[in-house]
Structure 1
Amino acid sequence: MTTDKTSPQSDTHSGTHGAVIEDMAPDTDAPLVELRGAGKAYGNIRALHGVDLRVHPGQVTCVLGDNGAGKSTLIKIISGLHQHTEGDFLVDGAPVRFSTPREALDKGIATVYQDLAVVPLMPVWRNFFLGSEMTKGPWPVRRLDIERMKKTADEELRNMGIVLDDLEQPIGTLSGGQRQCVAIARAVYFGARVLILDEPTAALGVKQSGVVLKYIAAARDRGLGVIFITHNPHHAYMVGDHFSVLRLGTMELSAERSRITLDELTNHMAGGAELAALKHELSQVSGVDVEELPEEEDLTAPVVATGEGAS
């Protein structure tokens, strides 16, 4: 796959149902999605508690956390798969309680999961319109408008800077990074204003991860609010505007990019107190040099205060 650095950005994009997405200058004062003290309990198990999060247009909000931190539960609440059991969930300033993912999609909230929801043996253009195919002709003998779908898929991919030599090739023959980029372009075309990306770089190499990060930045530049779920602080820091770290279902850190360094973000992600304890234990083992490890006061640095207007 090659990229077209000079490809023009169109002013509007029409979906199959006549939806129009406009590239607008982001209004960072009005969050598209907001959680206020949100939480989720499964019976006696509290998976998420007291989470505050704001997603602004034209910004990448990175949500980091280790396994079991509550990232998946957070995704399911925002995407409409599960309902929150405490706190408030607002879209465009209005409280909502989605019953299905379709309701979230109708509000412009699209989720790209790790499995990408693609059919590997189908062509790229067919996967682009999977479940929302264009048709032509009178009912009841309507048929697929293949040429229009191919043309539209090619145009929309190019608008995101993605140029594929052959849209007829099975999407399974593309690299992991390329498939992620097609999924992102598909979500943008079908009206996404908020794009949730579930660990898009988890199974990718360094080069392919860089490709995906570039298109995350491209989605942000088009005015979308992006929620980037990841356990990799280095990837998050490359494209993130705001960082939230979950630990055991609660928000441990919420900070704007200007208020936190990569080292601080990494320490919070890794668990400063745990690392400090580990360093102390390793110092008791003969043959283990802990001199090069960070000092305990660095590992246990206080949580960065949330800036004004931050989540």
Structure 2
Amino acid sequence: MNAQSIPPLGADAPVILEMSHISKSFGAVTALVDVSIRLRRGEVLALVGDNGAGKSTLIKILSGFHQPDTGTIASKGRQVRFASPRDARAHGIETVYQDLALIGDLPIYHNMFLGREYHKRFLGLNLLDNRKMRELAQTYLGTLGISIPNVNSTVDLLSGGQRQCIAVARSIYSSPSILVLDEPLAALGVRESAHVLGLIQNLRRQRNVSVILIVHNYNQIFEVCDRINFLHAGEIVLDASTSETSEEELIRIVKSGLGRRAVDAQPA
């Protein structure tokens, strides 16, 4: 889908997540310094920065794996504390990491329902309802625009892009309000990346789920994202709408490492 065909996010879209003044250290290593981000309903937010900038730490705090040393998290206007990933999921936050957590020798439809399988009673036995899971998986993948010829195929027969789409679809099936994608395009070729970008673009068009996308390819940011947060040395140094900046400007800011104000202050 072409980005130009997607209407901009409405100015009245409510803020559903605010992470305010988040700091985190691991011994003598400072990972985050007074980081604040906000996310509106239906928004696709790019989180960019070099390796070691603090992106993974911030996401793990949001996902309940780490607790911040300072700062607060508000979900839909109410302050919350995520003591575990289960707490984060209970508040509608699903995270897809690079390892995808798929089981290669299981069929696609079984992977779609890992940990939440459908069952049926037969002769007093509690059996897997494979027919129902196959039908639901095929229908649901179709609604997301994911083309999988046969959900009976095992995951290890899929391309990297298709596997990534299955992992994302599985997370979306639980009806999250926020979906975090940790470098979903890493190690994917152009064609495989197109599968994943198309899925993100569909989510953006529907505006039913907010997405935080960790990504390194700046061209892809302007293809599927509404806003950019650039994280450098544990601090947010740029918060800009993709419609108000450009890939060239972002590259200049990234190279400076100091954010938009530093770039604007440089002589022409």
TM-score for both structures, normalised by structure 1: 0.77
Where does 1:42-57 land on structure 2 (aligned, <5 Å)?
42-57=26-41
Where does 1:190-229 land on structure 2 (aligned, <5 Å)?
190-222=174-206, 223-229=208-214
SS at match of 1:187: helix
Q: Which amino acid aligns with 1:239?
A: V
SS at match of 2:22: strand
Q: Which amino acid aligns with 2:51?
A: N
Report what 1:60 is aligned to: 44
Report what 1:301 is aligned to: 263
CA distance in 2, matches of 1:129, 1:27: 36
CA distance in 2, matches of 1:265, 1:27: 23
**1:267-311 CA deviation, whole Å, 9 max, x = no partner?**
223x2269xxxxxxxxxxxxxxxxxxxxxxx9x6239xxxxxxxx
Considering only aligned residues, what root-mean-square deviation do their CA atoms show, in Å?
Answer: 2.2
Report what 1:18 is aligned to: none
CA distance in 2, matches of 1:78, 1:206: 30
Say if 2:106 is the partner of 1:131.
no
CA distance in 2, matches of 1:177, 1:147: 26
The 8 Å contact of residues 107 and 151 in structure 2, kept in 1 or not, is answered as yes
Say if 2:78 is the partner of 1:116.
no
Q: Percent identity over the alignment?
A: 38
The total of aligned residue pairs comes to: 255
Structure 1 unmatched runs, 5+: 4-24, 275-297, 304-311
Report what 2:136 is aligned to: 152
Return the offset for 1:229. 0.5
Return the offset for 1:37. 1.2
Structure 2 unmatched runs, 5+: 2-8
Q: Which amino acid aligns with 1:150?
A: R
Report what 2:242 is aligned to: 257
The 8 Å contact of residues 64 and 232 in structure 1, kept in 2 or not, is answered as no
**1:80-114 CA deviation, whole Å, 9 max, x = no partner?**
11111111111111111111111111111000111
SS at match of 1:204: coil
Return the offset for 1:157. 0.2
CA distance in 2, matches of 1:145, 1:134: 5
Where does 1:1-311 land on structure 2 (aligned, <5 Å)?
28-137=12-121, 141-222=125-206, 223-269=208-254, 271-272=255-256, 301-302=263-264
Q: Which amino acid aligns with 1:242?
A: R
SS at match of 2:186: coil
Report what 2:5 is aligned to: none
SS at match of 1:58: coil
CA distance in 1, matches of 2:13, 2:28: 37
CA distance in 2, matches of 1:85, 1:140: 52
TM-score for both structures, normalised by structure 2: 0.89
Return the offset for 1:178. 0.7
Higher Rg: 1
